[in-house]
């Protein structure tokens, strides 16, 4: 009788344990980087410092992050997953705005549902605002996501693609998300409890109103 080579429950359990341990190690390294950056600044912290604080090695560190600056962005996996989901939705026929929004709302809902992550998010935002190298990386990450989503929208549209319109739409959505997070941070710093999803919807209404204004002829500006 031919043996079944499908994965066994034990194989799945082992894979699940490996993934959980991978996530734990990634988070331990990220937390160590966050603590050290707050204490000594990015310039005053080395990869070896971070690895030692996390109880691991430089070699292990570089399996998870390409640089010490990247380590504080522990949510990079979530962001990559959201971008991947948005790209898949666009390729499946959704508009670029619909595909991005559907994926981002999932991420925002998850953030609202885990208030234990809010303090950490504020710490990261404060660091990004005070450390030029972290701000530069955050902006590069956003630009890369815009490029990926624009490419997906153009590919999905085929020969009729309007590259400029696609980039404008994606960049607009990225700006709305950034403004949403900025506003959530502003309210959180004032000890005002707020849903990041609700703030996003407020921003979205403002954007829609601005869009209606933009539809008017610009001749009066000449």
Q: Shortest CA distance to 109 belongs to which of 210, 199, 16?
A: 199
First to last CA, the chain: 82
Q: How confident is the model at residue 9 (pLDDT cuts 50, 70, 90)?
A: low
Residue 1 pLDDT: 42
Residues 83-121 pLDDT 10s: 888 888 888 888 888 888 888 899 899 999 999 889 999
Q: Give the best-scoring range by mean pLDDT among 30-39, 112-121, 149-158.
A: 30-39
Average pLDDT, the chain: 87
Q: Give the best-scoring range by mean pLDDT among 88-97, 134-143, 147-156.
A: 134-143
Indicate whether 214 pLDDT > 80.
Answer: no
Rounded to 10 degrees, the C-alpha dihedral 185/191/195/201 comes to -60
From the number of C-beta atoms within 10 Å of its C-beta (0-12, 13-18, 19+), residue 64 rates as buried
**Mean pLDDT across the stretch 7-16?**
67
Indicate whether 2 pLDDT > 50.
Answer: no
Higher pLDDT, 5 or 161: 161
């Amino acid at each position: 009788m031919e043996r079944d080579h499908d994965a066994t429950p034990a194989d799945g359990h082992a894979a699940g344990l490996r993934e959980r341990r991978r996530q734990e190690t990634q988070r331990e390294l990220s937390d160590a980087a966050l603590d050290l950056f707050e204490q000594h600044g990015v310039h005053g912290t080395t990869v070896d410092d971070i690895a030692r604080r996390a109880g691991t090695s430089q070699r292990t560190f570089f399996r998870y992050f390409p640089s010490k600056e990247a380590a504080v962005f522990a949510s990079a996996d979530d962001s990559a997953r959201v971008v991947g989901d948005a790209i898949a939705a666009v390729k499946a026929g959704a508009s670029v705005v619909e595909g991005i929004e559907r994926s981002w709302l999932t991420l925002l809902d998850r953030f609202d549902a885990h208030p234990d992550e809010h303090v950490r998010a504020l710490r990261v935002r404060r660091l990004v605002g005070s450390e030029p190298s972290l701000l530069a990386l955050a902006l590069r990450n956003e630009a890369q996501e815009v490029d990926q989503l624009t490419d997906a929208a153009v590919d999905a549209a085929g020969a009729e693609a309007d590259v400029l319109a696609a980039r404008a739409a994606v960049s607009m959505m990225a700006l709305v998300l950034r403004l949403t997070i900025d506003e959530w941070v502003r309210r959180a710093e004032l000890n005002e409890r707020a849903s990041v999803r609700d703030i996003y919807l407020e921003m979205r209404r403002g954007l829609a109103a601005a869009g209606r204004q933009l539809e008017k002829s610009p001749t009066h500006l000449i």
